[in-house]
Amino acid sequence: MNKLILVIALLALGACAKASDTGIGDANGMGDANSQNLPPVAPAIVPPDEAADPKEPPSYEVGIASVAAERNKALERCATQPAAVRTQCEQEANAAFSESEAKLQDLRGNTE
């Protein structure tokens, strides 16, 4: 039953498309005088001039995300350690994250 409804809907859409095929050439400017009434086509999207300079440090968001990813990997490695070493490993990972986060604080905020 659902397939029958789908086929009927597709046939109806096909009939509508067939009836409007005569207007396709007009949109491309190859039609009759009615094509002169169409608005101009928008220009292609041009990338902005503002590109990140690879020589400059990353933004705060990129830097903190990178440091957080390193911390998460370190914590995953710590989880595989024996319980006696795991606590110290986690503390070292957290300390390294805090130190790196402190170094990134000057990048935080509006730099413009």
Could you list the residue range(s) of the whole structural domain that residue 94 is in? 60-107
Q: What is the pLDDT of residue 95?
A: 95
Taking only the tens place, the pLDDT of each residue in 93-103 is 999 999 998 88
User: d(Cα 38, Cα 21) in Å, to the nearest integer?
Assistant: 17
**What DSSP element (H or E) covers 100?**
helix 83-103
**What DSSP element (H or E) covers 9?**
helix 2-19
Q: Which parts of the chain have pLDDT scores under 50?
A: 26-29, 112
Residue 91 lies in a domain: yes
Structural tokens at position 89: 């490993």
| Predicted TM-score of the model (pTM) | 0.48
Let me know: does 68 contact 97? Beta carbons within 8 Å: yes
How many structural domains comprise the chain? 1
Residue 108: which residues within 8 A CB-CB, separation 6 or more? 60
Residue 51 lies in a domain: no
Q: What is the pLDDT of residue 26?
A: 46
Q: What is the pLDDT of residue 87?
A: 92
